[in-house]
Structure 1
Amino acid sequence: MSIEKILQSLNKLDMLHKSLLEVAYKKTEAIKTSDMDNLNQLLKDEQAHIAGISQLERQRQQEVTDYLRAKGIAPTDNQTVALVLENTNILEEKELLTEARKKLLRTIKTLKNQNDLNQKMTFQSLQFVNMTLDMLRPKPDQINYSNSEVKGPTQNKNYFDTQA
């Protein structure tokens, strides 16, 4: 059995991750400009990408399982490309698989860094909003009520005239 299907899956995964990376870059710009409508659309696009990546990842795992079974190796819980590399004797296949794997890992690392940046920017935006709200709200020790405004159990008024 050849590693061709696994290579195709890795290349498709890399393309989808690169497309997701473009969405992450657009999210950065939307966060910078506070474009909520665009950000909502980008979040929907991101979810669609993630669903596609999940489906393709399941397919890749199945292809790895099929390849290892064809080689007479019992499947494990974690069907990785590294496991295929360990069990491939053909040098050309190892090189192709190694290069495709490295390419995908580089894309994933870049995507992770961009998502971390987006998360930090979102957190800072939230902190700014909270700080602004705190500045606009009066502090409890700054609130001053006059006696005429206070009603309720804190005032001791007798409603009955005891001299009557």
Structure 2
Amino acid sequence: MVSQVVKAIDQLAEVHEQLIQTGLAKKQAILSKELDELMRLMRIESKLSREITEMDQERSLVSRKLMMDKGVKNRFNVTYRNLMGVIHDPEERTELQRVHERLERAIVQLKQVNDLNQTLLQQSLDFIAFTIDLYLNPEDESYTYKHPASPTGDPKNKSGLYNTRA
């Protein structure tokens, strides 16, 4: 029964590692502004996320069965600590610890990759908003030099090539 829990956690870690690879590819797509590739990677991410949900349900079910087999009844949220408390074989404990640490490392790395991608996307959106503001908002000339004695906003005093009196 412990081998089933180990297998379920190992599979979860594997899918998390696939998500990490997808996240790194997403980073490249964001940096190179490849929207089609980014959309494709987001679909893959969505599929992998659904797989994780299903696998986690399976892990939870197998973990509850193990706890019941060990005499612990009615455990809905079985944690790693709970499992380690009922597993006494040193080899099984070592194997469970190994896959748990693998999964934990993958989750931490995935969070870092996702945070970086979120920051990159936010910077891209900020840049787009800034660019749109530059094009759509009237030009602010307060940053250019004007002689203090020159009138502002007086259309008669504008110098130009076209003479309206002629």
Bin the TM-score by the shorter chain: 0.7 to 0.9
Partner of 1:62: 61
**Pairwise mapping of residues 144-163 of structure 1 onto structure 2 (< 5 A)?**
none
TM-score under structure 1 normalisation? Answer: 0.82
- TM-superposed deviation, 1:138: 2.2
**Pairwise mapping of residues 16-27 of structure 1 onto structure 2 (< 5 A)?**
16-27=15-26
Partner of 1:50: 49
- TM-superposed deviation, 1:76: 2.6
- TM-superposed deviation, 1:140: 9.4
**Pairwise mapping of residues 90-129 of structure 1 onto structure 2 (< 5 A)?**
90-129=89-128
Partner of 1:32: 31
Give the alignment's Cα RMSD to 1 decimal. Answer: 1.8
In structure 2, what is the Cα distance between the partners aligned to 1:89 and 1:138?
70
Amino acid at match of 1:109: V
Partner of 2:149: none
In structure 1, what is the Cα distance between the partners aligned to 2:133 and 2:140?
14
Aligned residues with identical type, % of pairs: 25
TM-score under structure 2 normalisation? Answer: 0.81
* SS of match in other structure, 1:86: helix
Mind listing any 5+ residue stretches in structure 1 that lack a counterpart?
147-164
Partner of 1:83: 82
In structure 1, what is the Cα distance between the partners aligned to 2:124 and 2:74?
47
Contact 2:8 2:58 in 1 (8 A): yes
In structure 1, what is the Cα distance between the partners aligned to 2:128 and 2:139?
20
Partner of 1:157: none
Distance 1:32 1:141, change over 3 A: closer
Superimposed CA distance per residue, residues 35-80 of structure 1 (whole angstroms, 9 cap, x where no aligned partner): 0000011000000000111100000000000000011102333122
Contact 1:61 1:80 in 2 (8 A): no
In structure 1, what is the Cα distance between the partners aligned to 2:102 and 2:90?
18
Contact 1:31 1:121 in 2 (8 A): yes
